[in-house]
């Protein structure tokens, strides 16, 4: 009888212990869950705060990028204007230099050509091909005279008249086989004022070529 009572008490104690352990274990788990939930809420709040900060940073970055593009565009416009003004200044400077050069040449002509009519500008002598130095010609007519000093057959002599232009030189006129006559002359009419030169091609010929310009008092 006593043995049965002891066993019952033992079983009862075991159940009571399990119940108390369950109660305490459940409480501990509930506390851990609550702590986790609190930490999760804190992390979610932190994440939302970081997202708002990131949005603000992106907005500021976009604003600064747009401002940079605007400044870059303004700087490019100013750069283009500066380059255009520099080019205009260069062109004006070239025009002034050309006018000054022409003025000097006109002064030289004023003293050199004292008579109305044909006036000698340059005389070129040689027996080989020659590209002459440039010479100034006032607007009007030009006469090119040649004289054959000596030659040996087969022989040839030709003369080309060029005008100096910006970037390239233009051919004004060309006279070939002028060596067939011992002397002679050819003309170029209605020339613009400017710098000209001759290109002489000679073969077995010793020559003298004279350039004359018509000067009018009008």
Tell me how far apart the alpha carbons of residues 119 and 115 are, in angstroms, rounded to a whole number: 8
**Region 101-123: what's the mean pLDDT?**
68
Strands (E), the chain: 117-126, 130-131, 135-137, 140-164, 169-175, 183-191, 194-215
| pLDDT tens-digit readout, 48-63 | 887 888 888 888 888 8
Beta carbons within 10 angstroms of residue 35's beta carbon: 10
For the residues 9-21, what does the mean pLDDT come to? 63
Q: Does 24 score more than 60 pLDDT?
A: no
pLDDT score recorded for residue 111: 43
Domain ranges within the chain, ordered by starting residue: 1-112, 117-215
Cβ atoms within 10 Å, residue 209: 21
CATH code for residues 117-215? 2.60.120.380
State pLDDT tens for residues 69-82. Answer: 888 888 888 888 88
**How does pLDDT run across 153-210, given as a tens digit for each residue?**
899 999 999 999 877 899 999 999 888 889 999 999 999 988 999 999 999 999 999 9
The strand pair at 130-131 and 169-175 is best described as unpaired
Of the chain, the percentage scoring pLDDT greater than 70 comes to 77
Sequence-distant (≥ 6) Cβ neighbours of residue 156 within 8 angstroms: 176, 177, 179, 201, 202, 203, 204, 205
Name beta bridge partners: 210: 123, 145
Average of per-residue pLDDT values in the chain = 82
Angle (nearest 5°) at CA 129 between 126 and 134: 80
Task: Give per-residue pLDDT as tens, 93-105.
Answer: 888 777 766 665 6
């Amino acid at each position: 009888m006593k043995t049965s009572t002891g066993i019952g008490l033992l079983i009862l104690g075991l159940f009571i212990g399990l119940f108390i352990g369950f109660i305490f274990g459940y409480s501990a788990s509930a506390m851990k869950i609550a702590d986790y939930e609190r930490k999760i809420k804190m992390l979610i709040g932190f994440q939302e705060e970081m997202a708002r900060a990131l949005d603000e940073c992106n907005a500021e970055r976009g604003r600064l990028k747009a401002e940079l593009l605007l400044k870059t565009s303004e700087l490019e416009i100013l750069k283009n204007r500066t380059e255009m003004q520099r080019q205009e200044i260069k062109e004006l400077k070239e025009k002034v230099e050309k006018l000054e050069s022409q003025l000097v040449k006109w002064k030289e002509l004023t003293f050199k050509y004292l008579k109305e009519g044909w006036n000698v500008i340059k005389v070129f002598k040689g027996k080989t091909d020659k590209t002459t130095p440039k010479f100034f010609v006032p607007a009007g007519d030009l006469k090119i005279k040649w004289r054959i000093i000596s030659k040996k057959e087969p022989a040839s002599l030709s003369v080309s008249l060029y005008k100096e232009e910006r970037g390239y030189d233009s051919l004004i006129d060309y006279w070939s086989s002028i060596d067939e006559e011992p002397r002679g002359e050819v003309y170029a009419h209605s020339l613009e004022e400017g710098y000209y030169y001759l290109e002489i091609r000679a073969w077995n010929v010793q020559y003298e070529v004279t350039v004359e310009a018509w000067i009018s008092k009008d």
